[in-house]
Amino acid sequence: MERPFKSFLALDMENFIARKKAENSWSNTYYENLHYFDNYIHSHYPTSTELTQVMMEWCKPRSTEKGNSCRYRTTPIWNFVSYLRDRGKTGVTILRCYANVPVELVPHFFSKDELSRFFRECDIFWYEYYKSKRTLPRLINMLELPVFFRLLFSTGMRTCEARELKRADVDFQTGVVNIEKSKGIDKHRVVLHESMLKLLRQYDQAIGNVLSERIYLFPSTGDKPHRAAWEGYHFRNLWPRISQESARPYDFRHHYATTNISQWEKHGFEFSGKLLFLSRSMGHKNIQSTFGYFHLTPMLTDKLRKNCGDAFGDLLPPNPENEPNQL
């Protein structure tokens, strides 16, 4: 059953959806993004009765978005605005995002305090949210999200890899996780830290009491992988409680890589072996992709330059053609 809209645009949104369905041009992803926009309007403009240009701030490209991501998120909204304009209900100017607009994504570097407070809030925030209205989707989020974000932090997995994990991909005895679907190499493995493995065992038992016949490690209510916007949406709801700086779930992957690289100096300088191990565990197609993280760890880069001299630039071969970096 579809959730009702809450803002003053609710009736127009319902009519817009009905028209799109009648034209056989409706998509459920349209509904999700329209609902996010409705929540924004309801929260920020609770007493308004007319759509204005300032309300369209929600559609501006975000610092963490590429052109295609922005267009995917906002196209349903601009189509809805066009629907209102055709009926004389708004004078808002349509300013669409365009594909392939280059946006420099600067990763956020989490401090120890931020991480501590974030994971503490993870355990509280969704529990309180579930207590306020005990529904199955909220119960699933309460159980899954604190574990999901800790898994990203402790393994450096891509968000898509973690969402797509099946329960059978995890060896709950040894802590070995087989990643079948990956942006980089076709298949790779990660080994969980003992504390993460213990938490995952506890989670597996808890979620099993709710969805006993599930296939996916982090299932939605229909035992399907969550949509791509799932973790980002919930992260954005929580992160402002921690910091006003921009951050995204994918930054846990950057944190994992740079933290590991920074530790190398403390434990000797076995450059080649450590770099190859990190590259494999992160699912990179080539070491060149892993080497990109050295630019985020200037102290170690300086030591490399000092030790290698003029040969620093030749440490790794140029990236092979048709093999883009897979950070």
- Can you give the pLDDT at residue 316? 43
Q: Which of 52, 71, 86 is the last residue of a domain?
A: 86
- Residue 44's identity, in one-letter code, is H
Do 46 and 130 sit in the same domain of this protein?
no
Q: Is 237 domain-assigned? A: yes
Please tell me whether residues 215 and 275 are part of one structural domain: no
The answer to whether 19 and 55 have CB atoms below 8 angstroms apart is: no
Contact 109, 258 (CB under 8 A): yes
3: in domain: no
- Whether residue 142 is found in the same domain as residue 263: no
Where residue 21 falls among pLDDT bands split at 50, 70, 90? confident
Residues 5-33: what's their mean pLDDT?
Answer: 86
Work out whether strand 176-179 and strand 188-191 pair parallel, antiparallel, or are unpaired: antiparallel
Residue 209: predicted pLDDT: 94
pLDDT at 174: 95
Residue with tokens 């996010």: 36
Residue 247 lies in a domain: no
Q: What percent of the chain has pLDDT over 90?
A: 45
Better-predicted residue by pLDDT, 212 or 148: 148
- Residue 304, pLDDT > 70, answer no
Tell which wins on pLDDT, 38 or 96. Answer: 38
pLDDT of residue 73: 86
Domain annotation covers residue 324 = no
C-alpha dihedral (135, 75, 9, 16), degrees to nearest 10: -90
For residue 47, being part of any structural domain is answered with yes
Contact 22, 41 (CB under 8 A): no
Looking up tokens 């196209």 gives 75
Domain count, the chain: 3
State the residue range of the domain holding 144.
112-241
Q: What is the mean pLDDT of the chain?
A: 80
The pLDDT value recorded for residue 324 is 39
Question: Residue 96 has what pLDDT?
Answer: 74
Given this model, what pLDDT does residue 60 score? 87
Mean pLDDT within 8-28: 86
Q: Are residues 225 and 300 in the same domain?
A: no
The closest alpha carbon to 224, from 157, 143, 140, belongs to 140
My answer on whether 174 and 269 are in the same domain is: no
Q: What share of the chain is helix, strand, coil (3-state, %, to 5)?
A: 60, 5, 40
CATH number reported for the structural domain that contains residue 156 in this entry:
1.10.443.10
Shared domain check, 281 and 172: no
pTM of the model: 0.61
Does residue 4 fall inside a structural domain?
Answer: no
Q: Of 91-95, 123-127, 143-147, 268-272, where does the model show the most confidence?
A: 143-147
| Predicted pLDDT of residue 182 | 59
| Amino acid present at 162 | A
What are the residues whose beta carbons fall under 8 Å from the beta carbon of 132, sequence distance 6 or more?
none
Segment 71-78 shows an average pLDDT of 88
The token pair that represents 294 in the structure block: 């050295």
| Domain assignment of residue 319, yes or no | no
- Residue 179 DSSP class: E
The secondary element (H helix, E strand) that includes residue 189 is strand 188-191
Look up tokens 């213990």; give the residue: 198
The three-state (H, E, C) secondary structure of 156-170, written as one string? CCCHHHHHHCEHHHE
pLDDT in tens, 309-325: 554 444 443 443 333 34
For residue 98, the model assigns a pLDDT of 59
Same domain, residue pair 236 and 276: no
